[in-house]
């Protein structure tokens, strides 16, 4: 069975709640809160599957607890070959539709550059209204888009559906 690590940075708690729901949906998964539980890049090595969660801030940037780890990744260039990686995160498509969940796209670029297989968990853009997203790749988001500000009633079902999609795509 695949060893699943859920790494999450969350300021308002929405992405954290999503991570907790994912932890329940993946038997034996370990949840690592980037502020409280993250120590160093070596923690990523402990897992075959990485579920990477972040809300989007500012000009499409990852949540603040990801800043130092992503900087370390870009400078130390760990080898993530063989890792299956999927992304999820929260945003506000109405108020911040100009960079809706763009952090996921930025993070996907970093993990892909380091050799990770990041082609899992793509999510349809249908049902969302936004101006632009760096997370949109080939007409889909490169991960699960959560909007608890405008579509909270869809969040739980989206997370459950996405988890089943990942299990199928990753063979876990």
CA distances from 156 to 9, 102, 138, 147, 159 (A): 19, 21, 25, 11, 5
Q: Is residue 84 part of a domain?
A: yes
Q: Tokens at residue 160, please?
A: 């459950």
CA distances from residue 3 to 90, 101, 167 in whole angstroms, order as listed: 24, 26, 12
Do the domain assignments include residue 82?
yes
pLDDT mean values, one per 10 residues, the chain (172 residues): 92 96 97 97 97 95 97 96 97 94 97 98 97 96 97 98 98 93
Non-local CB neighbours of 5 within 8 Å, separated by 6+ positions: 29, 30, 32, 43, 44, 46, 47, 49, 50, 51
Residue 171 is assigned to a structural domain of this protein = no
The pLDDT, as a whole number, for residue 103 is 97
143 within a domain of the structure (yes/no): yes
100 belongs to a structural domain: yes
The model carries a pTM of 0.96
DSSP collapsed to 3 states, 116-162 = CECCCCCEECCCCCCCCCCCEECCEECEEEECCCCCHHHHHHHHHHH
Q: Give the model confidence (pLDDT) of 141-168 as tens digits.
A: 999 999 999 999 999 999 999 999 999 9
Structural domain boundaries enclosing 118: 28-154
Domain count along the chain: 1
Q: Is residue 5 part of a domain?
A: no
In a domain, 93, yes or no: yes
Name which of 42, 62, 54, 111 is nearest 83 in CA terms.
111
What CATH number did the domain enclosing 150 receive? 3.40.50.360
Predicted local confidence at residue 1, as pLDDT: 63
pLDDT of residue 44: 97
> Is the residue at 59 inside a domain?
yes
């Amino acid at each position: 069975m695949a060893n699943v690590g859920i790494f999450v940075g969350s300021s308002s708690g929405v992405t954290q709640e999503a991570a907790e729901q994912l932890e329940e949906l993946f038997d034996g998964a370990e949840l690592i809160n980037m502020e409280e539980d993250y120590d160093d890049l070596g923690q990523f090595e402990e897992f075959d599957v990485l579920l990477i969660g972040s809300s989007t801030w500012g000009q499409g940037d990852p949540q603040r607890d990801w800043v130092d780890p992503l900087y370390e990744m870009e400078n130390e260039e760990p080898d993530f070959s063989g890792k299956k990686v999927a992304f999820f995160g929260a945003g506000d498509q109405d108020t911040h539709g100009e960079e809706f969940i763009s952090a996921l796209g930025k993070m996907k670029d970093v993990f892909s550059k380091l050799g990770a297989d990041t082609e899992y968990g793509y999510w349809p853009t249908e049902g969302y209204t936004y101006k632009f997203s760096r997370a949109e790749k080939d007409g889909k988001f490169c991960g699960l888009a959560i909007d608890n500000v405008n579509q909270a009633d869809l969040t739980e079902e989206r997370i459950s559906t996405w988890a089943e999609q990942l299990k199928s795509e990753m063979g876990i």
